[in-house]
Chain A
Amino acid sequence: MNEIIRFDDVTYSYAEGSAPALDGVTLAIRQGETVAVLGHNGSGKSTLAKMLNGLLTPASGTVAVCGMDTKDESRLLDIRQKVGLVFQNPDNQIVATVVEEDVAFALENLGVPPPEIRERVDAALRDVGMLEYREHAPHRLSGGQKQRVAIAGALAMDPLVLAMDEPTAMLDPKGRGEVMETVRRLNRERGVTVVMVTHHMNEAALCGRVVVMDRGKVKLDGPPGDVFSRAGELQSLGLSVPQTVALAQGLGLDAAPLTEEECAELIFKEFSRC
């Protein structure tokens, strides 16, 4: 698999002399992956997200997107086009008064010819299932719908990577479900690489890879099955495990089921034996 983003010994701190937000992070993100970044508050996970498209640049070390160094300002627009970044509060990232105008914003900035903007906006809205709302005012939409519009706004740029900083933190369970469903479908059908900062263990369990951060360092990195089976280590980092894993481990089973079906099957298998 192709490497799209590469962090090489990246260090960063917000203020001189304060504890570093990132401390020697080395990480590669490959095409088509879905990566969840976990960590408690102040672990550096949001800082990591802002490094992905050059909003922040490392104090030492390098971040490269498709081989382009994020410190190279002449390539900044190319980098931002390759890595779409979506934030927590959907209200604060919608610029225009009409849904479709907002999705068009990035393309207008890039100077794309109007007929092509129209096509790409419609395609992006269709991809997130919001096409029928294209003429609505954003403030009349639900939280989940707004966040999907924000995702469409990033998607219209045709990015290789969709990066999200706690995209579901301000949503109700229904909105959270909508967003997760959309993101997974985009990965599956469009092959978009997904990097998602989250503190919901159940969302992380749906990703193909989990990176756990603590005090600016990468502590664990692997498939969710491996990461969540190390419950003790996670607890010492102030994190819990998904409920399914907690249940299995509470029953004394040595496994980390990630979905409810998996969990039910495991329990059934285990206890029908005796």
Chain B
Amino acid sequence: MLKDITLGQYFPGSSIIHRMDPRIKLILLFCFITALLMANHALTYAGVLLFLALAVAVSRIKPKALFKGMRPMLFIVIFTAVLNIFYTPGEPLVSFWVFNIAAEGIERAVFMALRLTMLISATFMLTYTTSPIFLSDALARLMSPLAKLKIPVHEFAMMMTIALRFIPTIIEETDKIMSAQKARGADFETGNLFRRAKALIPLLVPLFVGAFRRADDLAVAMECRCYHGGEGRTRMKQLHMTAEDAAVLTGGLLLLSGLTVLGRLGWFIP
């Protein structure tokens, strides 16, 4: 049961989006979100939607997988839409008790839901097509200028790598401890919420103790392999921008900045 948990689920593939330098994907995602938030007309929304649809098509990620990922977020999307329906002032179409529903409200709710859905889908597109290692690596490299402001970028990246490395190990250990406690009569599945939470204590205590012991061992092992912080460190795998990457970046940036400007100025919109 615990084996099903995946963090930042990744679907390996060989599309142009999978192969793209993860830094470019991050930059494009950032620009996409900007364009999306600036959009304020059906036409600009359509443009942004087209861009996203194109990315999904090229990546060969199944739209079904995107919808599946959306499911936990559905509540937030619906909640936001409903709030917008009721709280947008305007000429009421329907009104009952203290509620007024205006045409503006419905319009706004639709756009809001669309905006959130696209925002979440675009983020999923990044994590679906990029392995977590490359993602943390790309983040660290994009943020490396922050190291000059004494922000410990290298340390954060190292922590992320180690966390990713130990998630499967700790999950395995959790399974083992659970089986061991069940063998001694522990019951994790029945009772009310309070009882079940209490039943977790004999699971969490050994897990915590074990995790700290692991951390201690790992620190010593890292020291043995000459780890002394990020200073003077090199990396075996260098991220390389290819001509293909540059072309996609330029095209994507042009499109998105065009959409952003259109959305902001509302040109050609009557």
Q: Is the interface of A mostly helix, strand, loop or mixed?
A: helix
**What residues on A are CB-neighbors of B223 within 8 Å?**
55, 80
Q: Are B217 and A93 in contact (CB under 8 A)?
A: yes
In the complex, what residues of B have CB within 8 A of residue A112's CB? Answer: 234
The one of B213, B224, B228 that contacts A55, using a Cβ cutoff of 8 Å? B224
Contact with A along B182-219 (1 / 0, CB 8 A): 00000000000000000000000000000001100110
Interface flag for A157 (CB, 8 Å): yes
How many residues does chain A have at the interface if contact means C-beta atoms less than 8 Å apart? 40
By secondary structure, the B interface counts as helix
Contact B236 A118 (CB under 8 A): yes
Chain B residues within 8 Å of A97, by CB: 132-133, 161, 164-165
Residues A95 and B161 in contact, CB atoms below 8 Å apart: yes
Shortest CB-to-CB span from B180 to chain A, Å, is: 17
> Shortest beta-carbon distance, A87 to chain B, in Å?
6
- The answer to whether B234 touches A111, judged by C-beta atoms less than 8 angstroms apart, is yes
Q: Which residues from 89 to 122 on chain A have a C-beta closer than 8 Å to any C-beta of chain B?
A: 89, 91-98, 100-101, 104-114, 117-118, 121
Do A95 and B222 form a contact, CB below 8 Å, given A77-B228, A101-B133? yes
A247 shortest CB reach to chain B, Å: 38
Partner of B233, one of A77, A91, A96, A109: A109
Q: Is the CB of B164 within 8 A of A77?
A: no
Complex interface residues of chain B between 200 and 257 (CB less than 8 A to chain A): 213-214, 217-218, 220-228, 232-238
A138 at the interface (CB under 8 A from B): yes
Q: How far is the CB of A159 from chain B (nearest CB, A)?
A: 10
Q: How large is the interface on B (under 10, 10 to 19, 20 to 34, 35 or more residues)?
A: 20 to 34
| Cβ 8 A contact of B226, one of A80, A93, A104, A114 | A80
Q: Which residues on B sit within 8 Å (CB–CB) of A96?
A: 133, 161, 165
| Chain B residues with CB under 8 A of A111 | 232-234
State whether the Cβ of B168 lies closer than 8 Å to any Cβ in chain A: yes
Please state if A98 and B225 are interface contacts (CB–CB under 8 Å). Answer: no
User: What's the Cα separation between A87 and B144 when bound, in Å?
Assistant: 33
**Interface pair B221/A87, CB less than 8 Å apart:** yes
Q: Known contacts being A80-B224, A81-B226, A97-B165, is A113 close to B217, with CB within 8 Å?
A: no
Interface centre among A55, A85, A98, A105 (most CB of B within 10 A): A105
User: Is there contact, CB below 8 Å, between B172 and A139?
Assistant: yes
Tell me which residues across on chain B come within 8 A of A55, comparing CB atoms.
220, 223-224
A274 to B196, CA, bound (A): 74
Task: Find out whether the CB atom of B236 lies under 8 angstroms from the CB atom of A107.
Answer: yes
Chain B residues with CB under 8 A of A85: 224
B169 at the interface (CB under 8 A from A): yes
**Set of chain A residues within 8 Å of B169, measured between Cβ atoms:** 91, 139
Some 21 contacts from A to B, beta carbons below 8 A apart, are: A53-B224, A55-B224, A80-B226, A84-B225, A87-B221, A89-B217, A91-B214, A92-B217, A95-B222, A96-B133, A96-B161, A96-B165, A97-B164, A108-B234, A108-B235, A114-B238, A118-B236, A121-B236, A138-B165, A139-B168, A154-B225
- Please give the residue numbers on chain A whose beta carbons come within 8 Å of chain B beta carbons, in ascending order: 53, 55, 77, 80-81, 84-85, 87, 89, 91-98, 100-101, 104-114, 117-118, 121, 137-139, 150, 153-154, 157
